[in-house]
């Protein structure tokens, strides 16, 4: 409620209250009211209007005060029993993932997002059967090595080359090669030789070497990956981001 804008005309003379009969019946013909009766009327009206303005002003001040969120009374958290409560804001999603700020709070949604981000593992970047040759392969779904937390795991399996028949990638004799994310960042496209175990039978095992060239978005192999010593007995099946 706003304050009154017009100035209230003061009338301080209190006068004398007319008798109840005059108040009830008003001026009658031939009545000559004394000045004190007028003073009482004007003063009463002035007093009543003054009270209305004061109440209106008080209400306006109260509304303004209750709308003030800047702590006009300088109340401390200790005064309201919150000494152990910190006045922290909510961390943005980027701040939550960065994990650096020590004066922000996290919502359940940002906690879940950070967990997913930190444990962003076992993304499939390749699935199939490849020596791999010297051709360049792009990682699936435009994924990047830099998007992974630690690096890549190359998963190999036994492979049978059958003359006159379709070759078979077997679901046994698996082996794993880990390529750190740091290596790809530091030496993108450089050759790396990884040992891969193969098994001729249940009692005879051997090691072959696979050559890889890895960038942030691609990988390639070498022609010797299919023709080197025991190389055709092992095939790349998966690349998993970890």
Tens digit of pLDDT for each residue in 44-77?
Answer: 999 999 998 888 888 888 888 888 888 888 988 8
Is residue 84's pLDDT more than 70? yes
Distances (CA, A) of 232 to 102, 119, 136, 196, 224: 55, 35, 19, 11, 9
Distances (CA, A) of 173 to 41, 110, 186: 111, 42, 32
Distances (CA, A) of 53 to 56, 124, 143, 159: 5, 76, 72, 97
Tens digit of pLDDT for each residue in 169-209?
Answer: 999 999 999 999 999 999 999 999 999 999 877 778 899 99
Residue range 110-133: average pLDDT? 88
Tens digit of pLDDT for each residue in 89-109?
Answer: 999 999 998 889 999 999 999
Q: What pLDDT, on the 0 to 100 scale, is given for residue 1? A: 47
Indicate yes or no: pTM above 0.75: no
Q: What pLDDT, on the 0 to 100 scale, is given for residue 17? A: 94
- The domain spans of the chain are 1-72, 86-118, 123-241
Residue range 101-125: average pLDDT? 87
């Amino acid at each position: 409620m706003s304050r009154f804008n017009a100035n209230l005309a003061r009338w301080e003379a209190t006068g004398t209250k007319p008798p109840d009969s005059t108040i009830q019946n008003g001026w009658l013909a031939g009545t000559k009211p004394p000045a004190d009766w007028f003073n009482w009327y004007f003063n009463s009206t002035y007093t009543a209007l003054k009270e209305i303005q004061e109440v209106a002003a008080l209400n306006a001040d109260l509304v303004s005060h209750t709308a003030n969120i800047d702590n006009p009374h300088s109340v401390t958290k200790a005064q309201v029993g919150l000494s152990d409560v910190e006045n922290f804001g909510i961390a943005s999603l980027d701040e939550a993932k960065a994990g650096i700020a020590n004066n922000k709070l996290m919502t359940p949604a940002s906690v879940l997002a950070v967990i997913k981000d930190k444990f962003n593992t076992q993304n499939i970047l390749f699935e199939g059967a490849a020596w791999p040759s010297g051709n360049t392969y792009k990682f699936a779904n435009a994924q990047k090595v830099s998007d992974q937390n630690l690096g890549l795991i190359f998963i190999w399996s036994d492979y049978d080359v059958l003359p006159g028949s379709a070759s078979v990638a077997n679901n046994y004799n698996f082996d794993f090669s880990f390529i750190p994310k740091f290596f790809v960042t530091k030496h993108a496209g450089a050759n790396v030789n990884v040992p891969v175990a193969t098994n001729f039978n249940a009692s005879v095992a051997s090691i072959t070497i696979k050559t890889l060239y890895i960038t942030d978005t691609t990988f390639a192999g070498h022609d010797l990956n299919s023709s080197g010593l025991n190389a055709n007995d092992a095939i790349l099946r998966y690349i998993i981001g970890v």
